[in-house]
Amino acid sequence: MNKIAIFASGSGTNAENIIKFSKENKNFEISAIFSNNKNAYVIQRAIYHNIKYYIFSRPDFYESKKVLNILEENNIDFIVLAGFLWLIPEYLIEAYPNKIINIHPALLPKYGGKGMYGMKVHEAVVANKEKESGITIHFVNKQYDKGGIIFQARCDVLPDDNPGDIAKKVHELEYKHFPKVINNLLNA
């Protein structure tokens, strides 16, 4: 069974959805949650589901191999970024080649890159009068949102949609597709 670590910086709704999927499907397990935010609600979700969690600092992540050592101690096979906002350091990408994936709340290559996350993405979609938006699941490389695309799903953007309306549609796509794409990747 593949052991997955989820990296998250916020509330962890996608993390919880993946945890529930893994318990029902049993093709992978969520072995650890990592967060760069000691106040992130994802920590409460980890506690609730009895999953180990680790909180790390910027120096832990960028100036040492502390995070990598913890991943290796836990025999982690695969890393899923679910609302994690820091750029992944090169040493981690090299240790997990094509084994780190991210979900982005837009149809990349549009609306990606540093600073483009959450409502900022949906606000840009509305400002540019896009007719569709969606999600992109992609491999992680050395640049924000530039790794190879694994999967995209689309939703319509109606003329009277506001950023909150688009966020709701995008979240539905995330919950529907992210766990299945992870499962398919691990069984390929």
Q: Please name the amino acid found at residue 137.
A: I
Q: Is 158 exposed, middle or buried (0-12, 13-18, 19+ CB in 10 A)?
A: exposed
25 three-class SS:
helix
Which among 164, 163, 182, 184 is positioned nearest to 174, based on CA atoms? Answer: 182
Which DSSP state fits 57?
-
Phi, psi (5° rounding) for residue 46?
-60, -45
Q: End-to-end alpha-carbon separation of the chain, Å?
A: 13
104 labelled catalytic: yes
CA 58, CA 72: separation in Å to the nearest integer?
A: 19
CA 85, CA 59: separation in Å to the nearest integer?
A: 15
Catalytic residue among 49, 104, 138, 177: 104
List the structure tokens of 117. 């996350």
Q: Which residues are known catalytic residues? A: 104
